[in-house]
Amino acid sequence: MVTYIIRRLIWGVFMLAIVSLITFAIFFLVPRLAGATSESLATRYVGRTANAEQVQIATERLGFNDPLIVQYGRFAKGIVAGADYDYGPGVEHCPAPCFGYSFLTRLPVWPDLLNRLPVTMSLAFGAAVIWLLTGVATGVVSALRRGSVFDRAAMTVALAGVSLPIFFTGIVSLVAFSYGRPLAITAPGGSFTPFFDNPVQWAYNLILPWITLAFLYAAGYARLTRSGMLETMNEDYIRTARAKGLSERVVVFKHGLRGALTPIVTIFGLDVGLLMGGAVLTESTFSLPGIGKYAIDAIVNQDLPKVMGVTLVTAFFVVAANLIVDLLYAVVDPRVRLT
Amino acid sequence: MSFLELNDLRIHFPTDDGLVKSVDGLSFTLERGRTLGIVGESGSGKSVTSLGILGLHKGGRAKISGEIWLDGEELVAASPEHVRTLRGKKMAMIFQDPLSAMHPYYTVGAQIIEAYRIHHQVSKAVARKHAVDLLGRVGIPQPDRRVDSYPHEFSGGMRQRAMIAMALSCDPELLIADEPTTALDVTVQAQILDLMRDLQQEFNSALIIITHDLGVVAELSDDILVMYGGRCIEYGSAEDIFERPEHPYTWGLLGSMPRLDRERTERLTPIKGTPPSLINVPSGCAFHPRCAFEPRTGGKGRTEVPELLETEGGHLVRCHMTREERRAAWEQEIKPTLESE
């Protein structure tokens, strides 16, 4: 078990190294293949108003004339150990993990990301709780009443949930439940109160984004749970459970749902992990200052260091989620041996 | 009244293709301490019957009629909730494949404890001790350690023992074993059969063994009921069925049973054709399309359903041939082919 975790951790670090390599290649190698020169890459850092001489100096300072492998080494070292930026009059130290400075705000990327993490975490965990409970409950009832009106209605709604984009459901829900409507249950968006400052306000501000995001995921979980339950409820061990004289409630939840849980746990872990990198559409629609919104703003402004920072942080969460899911697997299913 | 009595039990399943008559008018009785073997091919209605007795078809799509009397109580009309309280306690079942019949995510002990605690208000510690005792009694070594093992950590025979321990946890008076040895090695089969016989004598319970294997039935049963197409086609004591069988289908079963005392060069004689569809049951005698003796019934086999009639001293047969014809056919045509040494 311990050796397994250690091996997986090493593997995870290796994965992140690969991701950083690919990210680096996308932003620094591919443009060159498309004909970009060291100078045109440096232009992105100094802005459009700079003259040729300033560009030349920046190119040299940023090291765009060095071999690519050296450039990658500098990039990777910045993340692991921090980097020193020579901006002419002096040298500024950017502590690890250093993803560089924003072109626009001139602030280092990492503290920005850290500031936005609570928003994204709040959004992801709140929504995850809602979608897990509603999705699984709907799926169980649908499976038990297969073919009933409830089942058909729920599966139609689930199909809608999977198909409708957030920027549609989000705006519809904003229009219906916010902006001074009688049913207004939330702030008009754009505001976030940290949980530890005021939990009630925190939930009040987030309730609509939670529901909107949860709707998208709950739909998938309902379908997944339904199909899993339909399968397990036909297993022999369910018949055994009934033959013992267990009540139907115990048969369904303790024996049926337990058997259908493995794929749900897997998908859940991966979904939450991915969301930690930002729920881009939800955060944009509700103007929540999370990592997703940060990423969109960065892309729109072509703020390269931010984009790379978000990419790598997201990759980190996905790798971590994968490890956690694999460990949970052994907890959920005793037949799984981690070796 | 007998301990267990089935009267004209019918279990039908409506499907998109038509009504599946899995059990169609089955009657038999069973006393405490006695063993009944129910024999038949796949789809003959054996398992459906056993699940029906336990009330496991209740609340589903099955249409059930007739009567099941267990110790003076009628179960078909009883509420599902009441039958549930009897299930596991008064009547219990041993299932065919213990790997799929036990929950893979719970330990063997947890599953036995669960079965015991539904019907007994005891602490987990007491139930656990009971589970360890039971595992020891069914011959599992180091039961105090194995109680915490998962089903997949047991061998096939051990799992079946654990399954038996689970079924016995509440001292059921009626025990139904559905193909208890089919999934096991031959050597283990014999051990399990011995175990079941010992336990039955110890508990004086009524035992129903459901199988397609006449060898298993020969080993354990006092009485044998042969099912075909959802109906009983022959019923009698084990001696009647093995020494004086009167139904051509039973002859076929005996002929297709491998025996050590036969010449190896000799071939088994399988029963021709396939089991009948339970939706479009053949007209007349359900067995007539596969029956070599059908021409001797003068066409009645195709048109009329034969009655289940007593031939002698509790031996019942459902066949159009007369008693004399059947006995002559058995003695002169069938028996010699089975005993050619």
Tell me the pLDDT tens digit for each residue of B228-275.
989 999 999 999 999 899 999 999 888 877 666 656 555 667 777 888
The answer as to whether B126 is a domain residue is yes
Q: What is the ipTM of this complex?
A: 0.86
Helix (H, G, I), strand (E, B) or coil at A285: helix
**Contact (CB<8Å) B104/A333:** yes
Whether the CB of B84 is below 8 Å from some CB of chain A: the reply is: yes
Q: How far is B100 from chain A (nearest CA, A)?
A: 6
Closest CA to B47 of B78, B16, B14, B13: B13
d(C-alpha B178, C-alpha B47), whole Å: 7
The answer as to whether B238 is a domain residue is no
Which residue on chain B is closest to A261 by alpha carbon? B105
pLDDT tens-digit series, residues A1-41? 788 889 989 999 999 999 999 988 888 888 888 877 888 87
> What tokens appear for B240 in the block?
């009647």
Say what the pLDDT of residue A337 is.
Answer: 80
Q: Is residue A199 scored above 80 in pLDDT?
A: yes
Which residue on chain B is closest to A260 by alpha carbon? B105
Transcribe A245-279 into DSSP letters: T--HHHIIIIIIIHHHHHHHHHHHHHHHHHHTT--
For residues B139-150, average pLDDT: 92
Mark out the alpha helices in chain A (DSSP H runs).
2-24, 30-33, 38-46, 52-62, 68-81, 109-144, 149-163, 166-177, 199-232, 236-243, 248-250, 258-275, 280-285, 291-300, 304-332
Say what the pLDDT of residue B129 is.
Answer: 95
d(C-alpha B131, C-alpha B169), whole Å: 7
Closest CA to B218 of B203, B238, B234, B198: B238
Say what the pLDDT of residue A240 is.
Answer: 93
Mean pLDDT of chain B: 88
Angle at B7 between CA B4 and CA B13, to 5 degrees: 110
Q: How far is A241 from chain B (nearest CA, A)?
A: 8
**Contact (CB<8Å) B54/A243:** yes
Query: Higher pLDDT residue, A188 or B101?
Result: B101
Say what the pLDDT of residue B262 is.
Answer: 57
| Chain B residues close to A235, C-beta within 8 Å | 100
Say yes or no: domain A111-332 is CATH 1.10.3720.10.
Answer: yes
Residues 146-175 of B with CB under 8 A from A: 150, 152, 166
> What tokens appear for A218 in the block?
């709950």
| Chain B residues close to A241, C-beta within 8 Å | 103
Nearest to A239 among B56, B114, B166 (CB): B56
Query: Higher pLDDT residue, B115 or A88?
Result: B115
> What tokens appear for A62 in the block?
């940023």
Confidence of residue A140 (pLDDT cuts 50, 70, 90): very high
| Chain A residues close to B88, C-beta within 8 Å | 243-246
**For chain B, how many structural domains are there in total?**
1
Whether the CB of B105 is below 8 Å from some CB of chain A: the reply is: yes
Q: Within 13 Å of residue A255, how many CA atoms lie on the same side as its CB?
A: 28
Residues B220/B14, Cβ–Cβ less than 8 Å: no
d(C-alpha B96, C-alpha B112), whole Å: 17
Closest CA to A311 of A58, A43, A42, A25: A25
Which residue on chain B is closest to A144 by alpha carbon? B60
**Three-state secondary structure readout of chain B:** CCCEEEEEEEEEEEECCEEEEEEEEEEEEECCCCEEEEECCCCCCHHHHHHHHCCCCCCCCCEEEEEEEECCEECCCCCHHHHHHHECCCEEEECCCHHHHCCCCCCHHHHHHHHHHHHCCCCHHHHHHHHHHHHHHCCCCCHHHHCCCCHHHCCHHHHHHHHHHHHHCCCCCEEEEECCCCCCCHHHHHHHHHHHHHHHHHHCCEEEEEECCHHHHHHHCCEEEEEECCEEEEEEEHHHHHHCCCCHHHHHHHHCCCCCCCCCCCCCCCCCCCCCCCCCCCCCCCCHHHCCCHHHHCCHHHHCCCCEEEEECCEEEECCCCHHHHHHHHHHHHHHHHCCC
Query: Higher pLDDT residue, A205 or B110?
Result: B110
Of the listed ranges A199-208, A294-303, B29-38, B165-174, the one predicted with least confidence: A199-208
Q: Domain-by-domain residue ranges, chain A? A: 2-109, 111-332
Of the listed ranges A114-123, A256-265, B193-202, B315-324, the one predicted with least confidence: B193-202
> What tokens appear for A216 in the block?
């998208």
| Chain B residues close to A242, C-beta within 8 Å | 56, 87
For residues A280-298, average pLDDT: 88
Q: How far is A147 from chain B (nearest CA, A)?
A: 13
Q: Containing H/E element for A83? A: strand A83-86
Say what the pLDDT of residue B265 is.
Answer: 57
Backbone angles phi, psi at A192, to 5 degrees: -140, 130
Q: How far is A244 from chain B (nearest CA, A)?
A: 4
Closest CA to B230 of B275, B294, B278, B196: B278
Instruction: Suggest the residue from B105, B120, B160, B179 to mutate for an interface test with chain A (most A CBs closer than 10 A).
Output: B105
Instruction: Suggest the residue from A237, A253, A328 to mutate for an interface test with chain B (most B CBs closer than 10 A).
Output: A237
Say what the pLDDT of residue B291 is.
Answer: 87
| Chain B residues close to A332, C-beta within 8 Å | 105
Confidence of residue A179 (pLDDT cuts 50, 70, 90): low
Confidence of residue A242 (pLDDT cuts 50, 70, 90): very high
Which residue on chain A is closest to B55 by alpha carbon? A243
**B294 alpha-carbon distance from chain centroid:** 28
**Chains A & B: contacts with CB separation below 8 Å:** 68
| Chain B residues close to A247, C-beta within 8 Å | 84
**A243 alpha-carbon distance from chain centroid:** 44
For residues B218-233, average pLDDT: 91
Of the listed ranges A48-52, A171-175, B74-78, B104-108, the one predicted with least confidence: A48-52
Say what the pLDDT of residue B263 is.
Answer: 60
Confidence of residue A336 (pLDDT cuts 50, 70, 90): confident
Q: How far is A330 from chain B (nearest CA, A)?
A: 11
Instruction: Suggest the residue from A146, A240, A247, A248 to mutate for an interface test with chain B (most B CBs closer than 10 A).
Output: A240
Residue B22 bridge partners (DSSP): none
pLDDT tens-digit series, residues A106-115? 888 898 899 8
Query: How many residues are listed for chain B in this entry?
Result: 341
**What 8-state DSSP symbol labels residue A59?**
H
Q: Is residue B36 scored above 60 in pLDDT?
A: yes
Closest CA to B100 of B174, B200, B216, B182: B182
Longest dimension (CA), chain A: 86
**Contact (CB<8Å) B100/A239:** no
Positive or negative, the Cα torsion across B161, B163, B166, B172? negative
Domain that holds residue B132: 101-171
Task: Calculate the alpha carbon distances from A66 to A30, A61, A299, A305 in Å.
Answer: 16, 10, 26, 19
Q: Residues with Cβ < 8 Å from A188, sequence gap 6 or more?
A: A174, A178, A179
Say what the pLDDT of residue A136 is.
Answer: 95
Nearest to B89 among A240, A245, A247 (CB): A245
Confidence of residue B341 (pLDDT cuts 50, 70, 90): very low
d(C-alpha B334, C-alpha B251), whole Å: 7
pTM of the model: 0.81
Binding-site residues on chain A for chain B (CB distance < 8 A): 235-237, 239-247, 255, 258-259, 332-335
The answer as to whether B124 is a domain residue is yes
Whether the CB of B101 is below 8 Å from some CB of chain A: the reply is: yes
Which of A190-194, B98-102, B231-235 has the highest average model confidence (pLDDT)?
Answer: B231-235
Say what the pLDDT of residue A187 is.
Answer: 59
Percentage of residues in chain B having pLDDT higher than 90:
48
Backbone angles phi, psi at B228, to 5 degrees: -150, 125
**Contact (CB<8Å) A333/B105:** yes
Say what the pLDDT of residue B30 is.
Answer: 94
Helix (H, G, I), strand (E, B) or coil at A317: helix
The answer as to whether B148 is a domain residue is yes
**Contact (CB<8Å) A245/B88:** yes
Residues A323/A335, Cβ–Cβ less than 8 Å: no
> What tokens appear for A50 in the block?
């700079």
| Chain A residues close to B56, C-beta within 8 Å | 239, 242-243
| One-letter identity of residue B244 | R
Nearest to A245 among B84, B100, B103 (CB): B84
Say what the pLDDT of residue A185 is.
Answer: 62
Helix (H, G, I), strand (E, B) or coil at A51: coil
The answer as to whether B49 is a domain residue is no
